[in-house]
Amino acid sequence: MTIDKTSIIGDVLDAYPQTAPVFMAIGMHCLGCPASRGESVADACMVHGVDADELIEKLKEVIA
């Protein structure tokens, strides 16, 4: 799976559960709720005031 801005967070977590702490670090503390699992990476970054490109790089580091 390739992670980009359009990736759905639930799909990322299902494929790479080790990325959960990265999402938690940006303030996504409710990773199990349907709303957060259905958001794209870009949407989550917009809501939490995080640069999407930086988050994607961190996610890629964790799954490398």
Cβ atoms within 10 A of the Cβ of 63, count? 13
Q: Does the model's pTM come out above 0.85?
A: yes
Domain ranges of the chain: 9-63
One pLDDT digit (tens) per residue for the chain, 64 residues = 899 999 999 999 999 999 999 999 988 877 777 777 889 999 989 988 999 999 999 999 999 9
Question: How many CB atoms lie under 10 A from the CB of residue 55?
Answer: 22
Task: Name the CA dihedral angle for 31, 6, 58, 10, rounded to a multiple of 10 degrees.
Answer: 20
